[in-house]
């Protein structure tokens, strides 16, 4: 027995003598995790957060979160002698006078961008596959909370260097607070410690950025992961996979090795970005000066959609009863995100209400199998992308030599018209894909081989659908598919015998495809053909 094995055994015994941990360890190491590439999106978000903690901690060793004015006398010659806040000066020091400081700053910034990007893509995966359904609504809510906190955290961090760009962002945030009815000026003054720019905002954002929000995020991530562990992961339909089991690999050793390796790969991508792709060169922007601004000012990407909605909003302002209602500010920056995030948080409950679907779901949906949900998601994404484009309307106008006014008018129309059209299109596309699946289930895959029957008739040979696909396709629970799957040797005739009451009992209507007819009826397939395709799939 090698020394290492002996040591491990000794440690395990020592711990188990005190904690009786072997049962827990055994169960945990044997825990089964389903594999799918899309399940790694959440991992990327998690690993990005770990990288943010590591690099961020390093940055706090040098950063001075203070708006105290100092005269710059560091290595970066163009800014020497210029008065600036200590926050900006210390960020310059990290960039130019601390060995490895610049790469840490850049990794931190890139990790923040990718943290939120991974959250958003992970959210889309969860949305389009229906992973948020019972019993996982709680984890959906936590996820939405993490998204909102991530955006706040990112904005706070973006503001800390106190450069011209981030100061402009803070001024906009202050002005948004001013627009809130009744409490607006109070809120703005209290947060900023007086009229803008005040003398407190950097000092206040710093502990919020490095202590308060990350602390809450860590708590929520822990809860998020705990629920995934406890409720077990969802999985896609496949051979041997049911609503009541999990099929995959055990945590130990292969899964852990892959996940651990993936952490280092994600970290490696971040360091490559931090080393080679310059980001947020604050020394080019200069220290914040409320009377200055640079053209083409852009926020980090995750605030872009709010910038876009602000740019698109018409200049509606109501002055009445001795007060001012600034809809031009309030709607795009407060009301709209409020509606969007509330709708996002409530979506699982709304869908359950409209579909009357109260069942447990551990098998994931294919997006095409839920045309309305997929349509809603696609419409939301199109709306979001249009707002992001609007957030860069000045850049687009410059690059493509277009009129900024026309871009703005086009996008104003676009955000109202495009999402409904995308909804209709995506829903129709899903239904078409379902029909294509029906065809495959019915006929198998066309082989291109023509066979002549004794009667003289020519028929095309079909190849049975590989099992994993057949299982995936039959996972859609519509009357037509159930008839197809359960029909066995009866084929189309079985469709007629589906009891109407049973059909009615299934959630249908808006969220369920009404339009899909079994394609056998349309194509007039013969019974033996269907039977053959089905039976070949099920040879065991």
Partner 1 sequence: MSDVSNGPSGNQESVRDRLKSPAGHGEQSGPGDSRGSDLSTSDFQQTDSRTDAAEAVGHGHGQLVEHGTTVLHPGKRVPLDDAAARAAERKVAGLFLLAVVGVVGFVVCFIAVPFDFGTDYSPAYTPLLGLFMTMALVGVGAGAVLWAKTLMVDEEMVQERHPFASEPETRGEAAAILAAGFQDTGLPRRSLLRNSLLLGAGSLAILPVPLLFGLGRFQHKEDALRTTSWKKGVRLVRSDGSPVKLGEVAVGGVETVFPDVPDGNKAADSASLLIRMRPDELVVRESRKDWSVDGHIVYSVVCTHLGCPVKLYEQQTHHLFCPCHQSTFDASREAKVLFGPAARNLPQLAISVDAQGYFIAQGDYSEPVGPSFWERKS
Q: Under rule CB under 8 A, which residues in 388-427 are in contact with partner 1?
A: 393-394, 404-405, 408
Angle between helix 256-276 and helix 40-60 axes, rounded to 10 deg: 50
Nearer to partner 1, 202 or 372 (CB): 202
Cβ atoms of 521 and 495 closer than 8 Å:
yes
CB of 269 to partner 1, least distance (A): 8
Q: Show contacts with partner 1 in window 243-272 (CB under 8 A).
A: 244-250, 253-255, 257-258, 260-269, 271-272
- Asked if 137 touches partner 1 (CB under 8 A), the answer is no
Cβ atoms of 73 and 136 closer than 8 Å:
no
Nearer to partner 1, 247 or 431 (CB): 247
**141 class by beta-carbon count within 10 Å (0-12 exposed, 13-18 middle, 19+ buried):** middle
Q: Other C-beta atoms within 10 Å of 109: how many? A: 24
CB of 208 to partner 1, least distance (A): 13
Q: How far apart are CA 344 and CA 342, in angstroms?
A: 5
Q: How far apart are CA 16 and CA 94, in angstroms?
A: 46
CB of 340 to partner 1, least distance (A): 19
What six digits make up the tokens of 419? 């999402």
Nearer to partner 1, 270 or 426 (CB): 270
Give the interface segment with partner 1, choosing from 101-109, 364-372, 428-436, 501-509 (CB under 8 A). Answer: 101-109
What six digits make up the tokens of 467? 């099992």
CB of 424 to partner 1, least distance (A): 30
CB of 228 to partner 1, least distance (A): 13
Phi-psi region for residue 142, left (φ > 0), alpha (ψ -120 to 50) or beta? Answer: alpha
Cβ atoms of 497 and 415 closer than 8 Å:
no
Angle, CA of 8, 11 and 17, to the nearest 5°:
135
Q: Show contacts with partner 1 in window 480-509 (CB under 8 A).
A: 482, 485-488
Nearer to partner 1, 107 or 422 (CB): 107
CB of 448 to partner 1, least distance (A): 25
CB of 472 to partner 1, least distance (A): 10
Q: Show contacts with partner 1 in window 37-66 (CB under 8 A).
A: none
Query: Which of 103, 279, 336, 346 is in the footprint of partner 1 by CB under 8 A?
Result: 103
What six digits make up the tokens of 112? 């923040």
Cβ atoms of 167 and 84 closer than 8 Å:
no
Query: Which of 3, 81, 99, 456 is in the footprint of partner 1 by CB under 8 A?
Result: 99
Q: How far apart are CA 412 and CA 309, in angstroms?
A: 9
CB of 401 to partner 1, least distance (A): 16
Q: How far apart are CA 421 and CA 426, in angstroms?
A: 8
Nearer to partner 1, 344 or 473 (CB): 473
Nearer to partner 1, 353 or 358 (CB): 358
Tokens 């909003």 label which residue? Answer: 313
Q: Show contacts with partner 1 in window 280-339 (CB under 8 A).
A: 290-297, 307, 310-317, 319, 322-324, 326, 328-329, 332
Q: Show contacts with partner 1 in window 76-95 (CB under 8 A).
A: 76-77
Nearer to partner 1, 188 or 344 (CB): 188
What six digits make up the tokens of 178? 């001013």
Where would I find the H helices in 281-335? Answer: 282-285, 304-312, 327-330
Nearer to partner 1, 183 or 424 (CB): 183
Nearer to partner 1, 362 or 434 (CB): 362
Nearer to partner 1, 109 or 427 (CB): 109
Tokens 């360890």 label which residue? Answer: 25
Query: 37 Cβ partners below 8 Å, 6+ apart?
Result: none
Nearer to partner 1, 271 or 374 (CB): 271
Give CA separation, 404 vs 297, 393, 396, in Å: 15, 6, 8
Closest CA to 78 of 95, 66, 63: 95
Give the interface segment with partner 1, choosing from 120-128, 417-425, 445-453, 464-472 (CB under 8 A). Answer: 464-472
Cβ atoms of 163 and 286 closer than 8 Å:
yes
Nearer to partner 1, 34 or 154 (CB): 34
DSSP character for 167? Answer: H
Tokens 């200069």 label which residue? Answer: 286
Q: Show contacts with partner 1 in window 170-209 (CB under 8 A).
A: 171-172, 174-176, 178-186, 188-198, 200
Distance of CA 270 to the CA centre of its chain: 19
Cβ atoms of 303 and 145 closer than 8 Å:
no
Q: How far apart are CA 179 and CA 310, in angstroms?
A: 13
Query: Which of 7, 14, 19, 27 is in the footprint of partner 1 by CB under 8 A?
Result: 27
CB of 411 to partner 1, least distance (A): 12
Query: Which of 17, 20, 276, 399 is in the footprint of partner 1 by CB under 8 A?
Result: 276
Nearer to partner 1, 344 or 530 (CB): 530
CB of 193 to partner 1, least distance (A): 5
Q: Annotate each residue in 208-247 with x if it binds partner 1 (CB under 8 A) or - if it does not, as one string.
A: -----------------------xx----x-xxxx-xxxx
What six digits make up the tokens of 288? 């914040």
> If DSSP codes are grouped into helix, strand and coil, which group holds residue 326?
coil
Query: Which of 360, 436, 521, 528 is in the footprint of partner 1 by CB under 8 A?
Result: 360
């Amino acid at each position: 027995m090698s020394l290492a094995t002996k040591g491990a055994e000794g440690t395990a015994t020592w711990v188990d003598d005190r904690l009786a941990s072997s049962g827990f360890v055994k169960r945990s190491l044997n825990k089964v995790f389903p594999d799918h590439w899309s399940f790694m999106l959440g991992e990327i978000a998690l690993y990005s957060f770990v990288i943010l903690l590591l690099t961020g901690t390093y940055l706090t060793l040098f950063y001075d979160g203070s708006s105290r004015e100092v005269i710059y006398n560091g290595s970066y010659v163009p800014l020497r002698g210029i008065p600036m806040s200590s926050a900006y000066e210390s960020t310059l020091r990290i960039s130019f006078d601390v060995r490895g400081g610049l790469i840490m700053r850049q990794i931190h910034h890139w990790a923040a961008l990718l943290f939120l990007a991974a959250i958003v893509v992970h959210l889309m995966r969860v949305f389009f596959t229906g992973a948020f359904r019972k019993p996982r609504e709680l984890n959906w809510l936590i996820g939405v909370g993490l998204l909102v906190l991530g955006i706040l955290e990112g904005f706070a961090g973006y503001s800390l260097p106190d450069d011209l760009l981030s100061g402009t962002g803070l001024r906009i945030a202050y002005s948004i607070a001013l627009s809130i009815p009744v409490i607006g000026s109070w809120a703005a003054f209290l947060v900023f410690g007086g009229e803008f720019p005040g003398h407190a905002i950097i000092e206040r954002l710093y502990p919020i950025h490095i202590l308060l929000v990350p602390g809450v995020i860590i708590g929520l991530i822990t809860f998020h992961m705990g629920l995934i562990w406890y409720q077990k992961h969802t999985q896609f339909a496949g051979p041997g996979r049911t609503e009541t089991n999990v099929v995959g690999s055990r945590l130990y050793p292969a899964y852990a090795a892959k996940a651990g390796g993936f952490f280092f790969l994600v970290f490696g991508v971040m360091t490559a970005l931090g080393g080679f792709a310059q980001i947020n060169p604050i020394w080019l922007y200069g220290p914040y000066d409320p009377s200055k601004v640079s053209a083409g000012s852009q926020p980090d990407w995750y605030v872009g959609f709010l910038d876009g909605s602000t740019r698109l909003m018409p200049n509606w302002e109501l002055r009445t009863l001795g007060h001012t209602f600034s809809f031009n500010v309030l709607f795009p920056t407060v009301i709209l995100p409020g509606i969007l995030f509330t709708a996002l948080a409530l979506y699982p409950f709304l869908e359950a209400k409209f579909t009357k679907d109260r069942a447990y779901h551990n098998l994931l949906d294919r997006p095409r199998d839920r045309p309305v949900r997929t349509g809603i998601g696609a419409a939301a994404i199109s709306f979001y992308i249009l707002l992001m484009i609007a957030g860069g309307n000045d850049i687009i106008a410059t690059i493509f030599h277009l009129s900024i006014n026309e871009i703005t008018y086009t996008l104003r129309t676009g955000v109202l018209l495009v999402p409904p059209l995308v909804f209709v299109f995506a829903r129709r596309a899903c239904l078409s894909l379902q029909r294509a699946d029906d065809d495959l289930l019915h006929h198998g895959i066309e082989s291109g081989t023509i066979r002549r029957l004794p009667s003289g008739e020519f028929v095309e040979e079909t190849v049975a659908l590989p099992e994993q696909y057949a299982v995936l396709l039959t996972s859609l629970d519509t009357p037509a598919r159930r008839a197809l799957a359960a029909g066995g040797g009866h084929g189309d005739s079985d469709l007629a015998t589906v009891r109407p009451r049973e059909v009615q009992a299934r959630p249908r209507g808006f969220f369920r495809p009404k339009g899909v007819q079994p394609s056998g009826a349309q194509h007039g397939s013969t019974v033996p053909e269907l039977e053959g395709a089905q039976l070949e799939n099920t040879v065991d």
